Amino acid sequence: MEITLKKEDIVSALNITLGVVEKRQTLPILANVLFQVDENSFKLTATDLESEVTTSGSLSSSEAPGKLTTSAKKLNELCRLIPDGEEINFSLISDKLNIKTKYGKYSLSTLPSADFPVFDIDSGDMPLIIPAKDLLGLIKKTSFAMGNQDWRHYLNGLYISISDGQITAVSTDAHRLAVANIPIHSDHSFSGIIPRKSINEMAKFLSDQSGDAELKINDASLELMVGNLIFKSKLIDGQFPDYQKVIPSGESSLLEINVKDFSETLSRVSVLSSEKYKGIRLITSSDGVRISANNPEQEEAEEFFPASYKGDDLDIAFNVTYLQEIMSHMQTDICHINFFGSEKSCLLTPPNADSPKYVVMPLLI
């Protein structure tokens, strides 16, 4: 193998692979990136055995095609530090990847490409075509509520359901719930759980794209194609909870708040909340809500937030981080908070909209 390419092209491709490269290095080759070259382009692939990403780029010149694997981290750090605008020559001599620039030369160890794990999954034949920005928006509105290393493994991901011409995303860590949906042109039917790491990688890939994304998905795996990138992932094997039962309904009290102002008030009051529980207390009245917090050091904060409130007065407490994260993902100026009692979960939604929906469990006062 011998090729020449621009520094910016290889660095851009390597940046895409780094999130998937196995950090724990259970197998040495999982710390490597598969580097494949043909007459006109190069292709980089990384895997952690649960997911895989492949991206490609153009060459300045190609003397001989070939393939190898080498350390993704070292290759990235080295190429990133080469001056902008330079061309880099890569050649494989024996078991070393030789790298030459205008003033320097470097040599990296390689492992045989034949030993690189093949990510063999069948993601189905008919892709769903979704605008990348819409799929990204769906992920952003919901993924923050995913579990993180929860013993209930089915909570450590984003539940996706496709039916009746829409795709619904749901996440929960058993203390809060996020649900959002978007319409799609498909009669495809599916439900499954995409792992947390894969969702975070998908969000990163989609954020750089403005066109359509192709999503193939089945009971065991998914494949996302966007731009010159292909991402594959296994799905979590497990039964997601019946989230519809968690969404409160019935008669409620309604607090209508300005998202920005409410978030700023929460930020000020939460400074003096307990570092362990992050609890804040809401006491509603006809003209607004009194927000307070205290901590074991006997420090206190209290602020009255004027707002429209309809319903019975109540006294309820929440983890302020949960409320703040919802406010940061609410894309409207106004938010409706529906209370169903001081010991029951509340429902947060945009005015006159069914999506997104957020449910938060109260803290015991």
If you classify domain 128-244 with CATH, what class do you get?
alpha beta
In this predicted structure, the answer to whether residue 54 has a pLDDT above a threshold of 80 is yes
Q: Which residues contact 352 (CB under 8 A, 6 or more apart)?
A: none
> Please, which pLDDT band fits residue 4 given cuts at 50, 70 and 90?
very high
Query: What is the pLDDT at residue 120?
Result: 75
- pLDDT per residue as tens digits for the range 319-345: 999 999 999 999 999 999 999 999 999
Structure confidence at residue 13 as a pLDDT band (50, 70, 90): very high
Cis status of the peptide bond prior to 83, with omega within 30 of 0: no
Confidence at residue 365, expressed as pLDDT on a 0 to 100 scale = 61
Q: Are 197 and 171 in contact (CB under 8 A)?
A: no
The per-residue pLDDT for 77 is 95
Burial 149-175 (b: 16+ CB within 10 A, else e): eeeeebbbbbbbbbeeeebbbbbbbeb
Q: What is the pLDDT of residues 101-144, one digit of tens each?
A: 999 999 999 999 999 998 876 656 678 899 999 999 999 999 99
Could you check whether 128-244 and 248-360 share the same CATH topology? yes
Number of C-beta neighbours around residue 53 at 10 A? 28
CA angle 253, 255, 258 (to 5 degrees): 165
Report the pLDDT value the prediction gives residue 166, as an integer from 0 to 100.
Answer: 93
What's the pLDDT tens digit per position in 291-329?
Answer: 999 999 999 999 999 999 999 999 999 999 999 999 999
Distance CA 341, CA 10 (A): 57
Highest mean pLDDT among 19-28, 181-190, 273-282: 273-282
Nearest to 140 by CA among 346, 267, 326: 326
Mean pLDDT of all residues in 231-260: 95
Task: Break the chain into its structural domains and give their ranges.
Answer: 2-115, 128-244, 248-360
pLDDT at 272 (0 to 100): 95
Per CATH, domain 248-360 is 3.10.150.10 = yes
Six-digit token string for 100: 């030459």
Grade residue 364 by pLDDT with cuts at 50, 70 and 90.
confident
Q: In terms of C-beta density within 10 A (0-12 exposed, 13-18 middle, 19 or more buried), how is residue 51 classed?
A: buried
What per-residue confidence (pLDDT) applies to 298? 93
Q: pLDDT at position 133, please?
A: 95
Average pLDDT over residues 352-363: 94
pLDDT tens-digit series, residues 206-228: 998 889 999 998 888 999 999 99
Q: What is the pLDDT of residues 131-186, one digit of tens each?
A: 999 999 999 999 999 999 889 999 999 999 999 889 999 999 999 999 999 999 88
pLDDT score at 284: 96
The predicted pLDDT at position 123 comes to 58
pLDDT tens, 61-106? 888 889 999 999 999 999 999 999 999 999 999 899 999 999 999 9
pLDDT at 265 over 80: yes
Q: Say what the pLDDT of residue 124 is.
A: 61
Residue environment code for 274-305, b if the CB has 16+ CB neighbours within 10 A, otherwise e: eeeebbbbbbbeeebbebbbbbeeeeebeeeb
Q: Does domain 2-115 have CATH number 3.40.50.2300?
A: no
What three-state secondary structure class fits 149? coil
